Amino acid sequence: MSGLRHDRALFRDPTFVLFFVARSIGTLGGSFAPVALAFSILHLPHGTPGLLSIVLACESIPMVAFMLLGGVVADRFPRAAVLRVGLGLSFAAFVLLGAMILIGWTPLLALGAASALSGTGIALIYPALTGLIPEILPPAQLQEGNGILGIARNAASIVGLVASGAMVALVGGAWALIVGGSLFAVAGILTLWLPQGRRQPGGLSARGVLGDLRDGWREFVAHEWLWVVVAQWSFLVLFFSAATGVVGPVLANDQLGGAGPWSWILAAEAVGMVLGGFFAMRWRPARPILAAVLAGAVAIPVPFLCLGLGAPLVADIVAMAFSGVSFGVFGVLWPTTMQQRVAPDALSRVSSYDALGSLIFQPLGLLIGGPATVVLGARTAMTVCGLALVVLCVLPLISRDVRTVGPGVRTEVLESTDAS
């Protein structure tokens, strides 16, 4: 009961409540994309798995390319303002994509340009969000706050995925994209009332962007557990993005019944992430990174093997829910440890290196997903992804630092020093 009272206390802070609502609405908007965009492209007169791969890669490439710049900007300028710009770009991208599909004007160049706008927005949103959280939350409540935010994010994903699947079936993917874009706009408007960050210098350092990036890189590589797990995720995301971005929608469209069943599979993952987030809010493992890695090794590959081997839809849904639990645990323990151990004035840059490393091969995964589906067949391609994930999920355990690093105290020490 004391834990619940402690959590409720966060909602007496108006700044946290505003951030909570804005982030949840933004996540709700973003969760329309996996189903709405995939099936909108596949249902075009010239829609193919290859076209879907190209459009998704057009979003992913600028996201990766600009992620480091996004980290520098979010460390040097008010993070709420950076977040607002990213949400604005995402709003424009979704609405443009929806409008083009709605009127039937869908040249590849235009689809790719709008998708690239979305990727640029994400490159600003992620580092700004990561840096804002420890500005809003006191150090003692970081894990609870990350848990609450993660639960809300995943609950919003459930609603968005189910709603987008229903909208695709009833009125088409174009309207689902427009609704998602409108939610980004609402989230961006709410950030107008977030306070300006207190740590940013208000501009680039005297050494410029490259100097700031070098400082962020030194902080990033100083933590072995950090770069080892990021290296793991760079390859994990390659196969995961191929499976969920291209192979899964094609398999669902051809063999599972379309957007509806696929949206339920993705929603099951989000349900699992909610449950994992609740658990991680209360769990205090002595070695949080080891716990996070083991949680992924146990569950992440299973749903893709089930889909590849032709398991019943119910089994696919249950397996994806368990995979989501592991993601939910990871999604609390990982950022909390990073926020505790990384120097606050470098946190957005380090998080951008985290995101860049984790996502660097995502465009490749999306590009090869379509051809792999054509050459191997959807189920075989999915099985290959699942087997690759089995290997990748256990490799970080080779690192002693991953196995032994404990909860950090750096953020608390720095803030207590500042206060004194």
List the single range of 117-121, 197-201, 271-275, 280-284 with lowest mean pLDDT.
Answer: 197-201
Q: Is residue 4 part of a domain?
A: no
Question: For a pLDDT cut of 70, what percent of the chain falls above it?
Answer: 92
Q: Which of 355, 407, 397, 419 is nearest to 71 (CA)?
A: 355
Position 317 scores a pLDDT of 95
Task: Check which CATH number belongs to the domain holding 109 and give it.
Answer: 1.20.1250.20
What confidence tier does 411 reach under pLDDT thresholds 50, 70, 90? very low
How many distinct structural domains can be found in the chain?
Answer: 1
Crossing angle between the packed helical segments 173-190 and 33-42, to the nearest 10 degrees: 150
- The mean pLDDT value for 46-70 works out to 89
Report the pLDDT value the prediction gives residue 204, as an integer from 0 to 100.
Answer: 52
Mean model confidence pLDDT for the chain:
87
- pLDDT for the residue 379: 94
User: Looking at the predicted structure, is the pLDDT value of residue 203 above 70?
Assistant: no
Cα gap 389→306, rounded to integer Å = 13
Structure tokens at 187: 């989230």
Predicted confidence at residue 107, as pLDDT, reads 94
State the average pLDDT over residues 220-244.
93
Inter-axis angle of helices 288-299 and 313-341, nearest 10: 160
Residue 173 CA: distances (Å) to CA of 60, 150, 168, 359: 20, 27, 4, 26
Percent of the chain with pLDDT over 90: 50
The answer to whether 246 and 53 have CB atoms below 8 angstroms apart is yes
- Contact assessment for residue 24 and residue 153, using Cβ atoms and an 8 Å cutoff: yes
Question: What's the pLDDT at 215?
Answer: 87
Report the alpha-carbon distance of residue 176 to residue 182 in Å, rounded.
10
Structure tokens at 97: 């994509």
Q: Encode pLDDT of 107-160 as tens digits.
A: 999 999 999 999 999 999 988 988 888 888 887 788 888 888 888 888 888 888
pLDDT at 257: 86
Asked whether residue 174 is domain-assigned, the answer is yes
Domain annotation covers residue 420: no
- If we measure between CA atoms, which residue out of 342, 327, 314, 346 comes closest to residue 405? 342
- Within a domain: residue 84? yes
In a domain, 3, yes or no: no
- Check whether 200 has a pLDDT greater than 70: no
The pLDDT of residue 409 is: 55
**If you write DSSP's letter for every residue of 6-54 in order, what string do you get?**
HHHHHTT-HHHHHHHHHHHHHHHHHTTHHHHHHHHHHTSTT--HHHHHH
Task: Provide the pLDDT for residue 419.
Answer: 35
Tell me the three-class secondary structure of 203-259, residue by residue.
CCCCCHHHHHHHHHHHHHHCCHHHHHHHHHHHHHHHHHHHHHHHHHHHHHHHHHCCH
**DSSP-based helix, strand, coil % in the chain, nearest 5:** 85, 0, 15
208 found inside a domain: yes
Q: Which of 161-170, 293-302, 379-388 has the lowest mean pLDDT?
A: 161-170
Digit-coded pLDDT (tens) for 284-330: 898 999 999 999 888 999 999 999 999 999 999 999 999 999 999 99
pLDDT of residue 207: 65
Say whether pLDDT at 189 is over 70: yes
347 three-class SS: helix
Degrees (nearest 5) of the Cα angle 56, 60, 61? Answer: 120
pLDDT at 150: 84
Range 382-396 burial, b when 16+ CB lie within 10 A, else e: bbbbbebbeebbebb
Residue 156 lies in a domain: yes
pTM of the model: 0.77
- Asked if residue 133 is part of any domain, the answer here is yes
Residue 416 has pLDDT above 60, yes or no: no
Residue 334, pLDDT above cutoff 50? yes
* The pLDDT of residue 414: 35
DSSP state of 196: P
Instruction: Tell which phi-psi region holds residue 311, choosing left (phi > 0), alpha (psi between -120 and 50) or beta.
Output: beta
For position 1, what pLDDT does the model report? Answer: 44
Q: How does pLDDT run across 346-376, given as a tens digit for each residue?
A: 888 999 999 899 889 988 998 898 899 999 9
Query: What confidence score (pLDDT) does residue 72 get?
Result: 87
- Residue 153: domain span: 9-415
